[in-house]
Chains A and B, each alone.
Chain A
């Protein structure tokens, strides 16, 4: 009985993989569809997006707290994260949309 259940789940998993991969391939291959439309279905499944990443940062990647009340600044050549490991997130506020639950 247990083996039969497992076989059913395994079949479901493989058919799901085939279905999802086919959809993804179709989205990639559709030349006439704008990228935004192509990926909109995906985006719905992706969840909440960190909107700040799509925006140029309002500040450099240098720490936002530079020099505030610290009586001195970070030095320029290597004095900030922006010069060293800026991740370009430009802030982490989200776009405020509701979470898209993956599986209801």
Chain B
């Protein structure tokens, strides 16, 4: 099997993942708890059932805050050369993707509120089949990479 892509993404993304993971977990826990409580009232289910989703949320949220960001960051690799973009990601299912420069239609950088706070940006690479994202680079690095990919893609010409 080929070797891993060489570059790592920015370490600060772990903090972003922790916060967004926590928010998502809280939302999920609250909504499912409310739903279970409501349905439980209607059908006279035992009270403890409605505590199951929040409990699951706490367990999963715990993982999202502690180990998952680290694992995810360690796995995330990318590499850009004149020929192609090479990505690796995934905690359980490790996936490596090759995107030839000739297939790239356009490149964007994107930044959410949290990402901006940490001075990070994502690079979105679009082909005719869909978009691939390099999730976190320092803002300047992201801009630089975006311009580099755009230049390389232009040189390679365009085929659909």
The reply to whether chain A is a binding partner of chain B is no
Which B residues are closer than 8 A to A by beta carbons? none
